[in-house]
Amino acid sequence: MTATENVAAGLPVATFTDAMSRLVSGLAVVTTRQGNGRPCGLLVSSICSYSVDPPSVLVVVDHASRCCEPLTLSAEFGVHVLGSAQERTARTFASRGADKFADVVWAWDGSVPRLCAAPIYLRCTTSAVMDHGDHTVLIGEVTRAEVQEAEPLVFYRRLFDWGLRRNGVRQL
């Protein structure tokens, strides 16, 4: 057996990864306050609406992320759904940079770091945390939502720069 096979399913990891790269998703930055008081954040593509009553989102975070532990310990976090004009922000928060907030306009919303330019902002209280495989699943109840019109930043086949036209035809 190699490192590219999943023992339980016998499924090659490369095949699974390629299949999931063909799933179109939006991109969001998830933020929280670390124990030392500093902000932390990361880019996620594994995010979805979880419940309407109460309004909740589900976010999935890799255990290897430096923000995983602060997110699992925090009572609150922010979800910032990015617009097509925020590819640079997406790349910044996807990186392992030391200070991802240095070149981004942001402010504290209570204990949650808020990215000011994100067209969708959801402030959440953590209602459930569970581990599965090499990731942690967070469920957050939305306590504040702000929405502005913007074209979405779409992630497809490992690319951040996909766009959508209103007629559904892809545009680069």
Centre a 10 Å sphere on the Cβ of residue 80 and count the other Cβ atoms it contains. 27
- pLDDT-derived band at 12 (thresholds 50, 70, 90) equals confident
Confirm if 86 and 153 have CB atoms less than 8 A apart: yes
Predicted pLDDT at 113: 97
Residue-range definition of the domain harbouring residue 128: 25-149
Span 20-31, pLDDT tens digits: 666 667 789 999
Does the structure show a pLDDT above 70 at 167? no
What's the Rg (C-alpha) of the chain? Answer: 16
In a domain, 113, yes or no: yes
User: Is residue 68 situated within a structural domain?
Assistant: yes
Asked whether residue 171 is assigned to any structural domain, the reply reads no
What are the tokens at 147?
Answer: 């929405």
Domain count, the chain: 1
d(CA 29, CA 95): 12
Q: How do residues 131-140 score in pLDDT, each as one tens digit?
A: 998 899 999 9
Amino acid at 13: V
Cis peptide before 55 (omega within 30 of 0): no
pLDDT band at 1 (very low <50, low <70, confident <90, very high): very low
Share of the chain above pLDDT 90, in %: 53
Q: pLDDT at residue 171 above 60?
A: no
How many whole angstroms separate alpha carbon 66 and alpha carbon 62? Answer: 9
User: Residue 14 is encoded by which pair of tokens?
Assistant: 């490369």
82 DSSP 8-state letter: P
40 lies in a domain?
yes
| pTM, full prediction | 0.83
| Mean pLDDT along residues 6-16 | 67
| Residue indicated by tokens 């339980």 | 8
Residue 68, pLDDT score: 92
Strands 76-81 and 39-44, by their bridges, are: unpaired
Return the H-helix or E-strand segment holding 71.
helix 68-73
Tell whether the model's pLDDT for residue 147 goes beyond 90.
yes
Which tokens is 57 given? 């989102």
Q: For residues 143 and 131, give the distance between their C-alpha atoms in angstroms, rounded to a whole number.
A: 24
Task: Give the position of tokens 């306050």.
Answer: 33
pLDDT in tens, 37-57: 999 999 998 889 999 999 999
54 upstream amide cis, omega within 30 of 0? yes
Please give the pLDDT value at position 170.
Answer: 46
3-state secondary structure of 90: helix
The CATH number of residue 64's host domain is 2.30.110.10
Round the average pLDDT of the chain to a whole number and report it: 84
53 in any annotated domain? yes
